[in-house]
Amino acid sequence: MKERELIDIIARLAGEQRPGLLRGIGDDCAVIEGRPGLVQLVTMDTLVESVHFDPDWHPPEKLGRKAVAVNVSDVAAMGGTPSFVLLSLGLPAGFDDQWVDRFLRGFTGSCREYGCLLIGGDTVRSPDRIVITVTVIGEAAADQVVYRSRARPGDTIWVSGSLGRAAAGLELCRAGASQSSDPLLESLVEAHLDPRARTVAGRLLAASGLVHAMIDLSDGLATDLAHLCEESRAGAVVEAEKLPAGPALYRASRLLHLDPVRLMVSGGEDYELLFTAGPAAGGDLLRLAAKAGVSFSPVGVITERSGVWLKRAGPGRDAVGEVRIDYKGFDHFPGPAKR
């Protein structure tokens, strides 16, 4: 069984509605009724040692920060503000006190930066590996929450920041270059080790009323855009040449002999925002980006045709091919279209 099938089974068994629930399984956060005029956003993510992080190159402070950020990012992607955090920490017997202390300092420091507070959780013995599960509860104005499910054909698809950075950083770590002295490469490693959630941009986008649908890029553009399209019963075309790469990504791609487009499309953990808006909203969105201190790039369009398609120049540089990329993680990505 694949993860998506498992989630489908869970969603089917979870079943019926309940008063006070606005959105259950299927978006970045569950949405429940809150104080008057507000809703609560609830999300939960787990990081498992050697699956999601490698303590050999992940400093504990940064891992603590990342455990907060990946959850806060889900709240940001619905336009909310994180309020409260719960942490379940599974540790092997005879764990390293110093490691735990540094992890917790990073964790609670990150909570403070995002304006939320650790209020509970659990500590358990996990014999083989460190396991970190975090729940974040956020809040948003009830009339401003942005769902995945409301993209409309004709919408422009936008992403914040630049893409593929965390995936390139992970590859650099795997190649033993986590301590690079090249500041460009170092910035990619940092993107993997210590990502930041786009809370300010998420809130401004939600408050603007311009955005139809939004999701955070945790599993990679191909997968996350496919989620958004599926929930919106629509499709998408992304243009490879519009994808925002930075000079660091090109440098790392050459060094690692990797395709930068592949890193941008299939690489996970950028924690940038992907959102859609009507084609006339471009000017307003660029002004809003300046206010949020981040770049927004239009990368494609929502279509009635289903599927997520990547338009890319073929090897001959004179022809453009389209390849379907829904849910293609890095390993399974089929590469550019052949003529």
Q: Identify whether the C-beta of residue 205 lies closer than 8 Å to the C-beta of residue 214.
A: yes
Which residue in 59, 61, 65, 129 binds its own copies (CB under 8 A)? Answer: 129
The region of 129-137, 169-177, 287-295, 303-311 touching its own copies under the rule CB under 8 A is 129-137
195 binds its own copies (CB under 8 A): no
318 binds its own copies (CB under 8 A): no
Which residue in 15, 37, 176, 183 binds its own copies (CB under 8 A)? Answer: 15
User: Which residues, numbered 72-101, are part of the site for its own copies (CB under 8 A)?
Assistant: 83-84, 86-90, 95, 97, 100-101
141 binds its own copies (CB under 8 A): no
Rounded to 5 degrees, φ, ψ at 315 are -60, -30
Residue 206 to residue 224: CA distance in whole angstroms: 19
| Amino acid occupying residue 143 | D
- Closest by Cα among 9, 4, 29 to 136: 29
State both tokens at 68.
């907060």
3 binds its own copies (CB under 8 A): yes
Rounded to 5 degrees, φ, ψ at 221 are -55, -45
CB count in 10 Å sphere of residue 78: 27
User: Which residues, numbered 17-36, are part of the site for its own copies (CB under 8 A)?
Assistant: 17-18, 20-21, 24-25, 29-30, 32-36
Q: Rounded to the nearest 10 degrees, how much is the dihedral formed by the CA atoms of 199, 238, 172, 97?
A: 30
The smaller minimum CB distance to its own copies, of residues 7 and 175, is found at 7
Q: Minimum distance between the CB of residue 115 and its own copies, rounded to whole angstroms?
A: 9
Residue 41 to residue 329: CA distance in whole angstroms: 27
332 binds its own copies (CB under 8 A): no
175 binds its own copies (CB under 8 A): no
Q: Taken in order 213, 214, 215, 221, is the CA torsion positive or negative?
A: positive
User: Which residues, numbered 219-278, are part of the site for its own copies (CB under 8 A)?
Assistant: none
**Which distant-in-sequence residues (6+ apart) come within 8 Å of 254 by Cβ?**
none
48 binds its own copies (CB under 8 A): yes
* Residues at the interface with its own copies (CB under 8 A): 1, 3, 6-7, 9-10, 13-18, 20-21, 24-25, 29-30, 32-36, 42-48, 50-52, 83-84, 86-90, 95, 97, 100-101, 104-105, 107-108, 111-112, 116-129, 131, 133, 135, 137
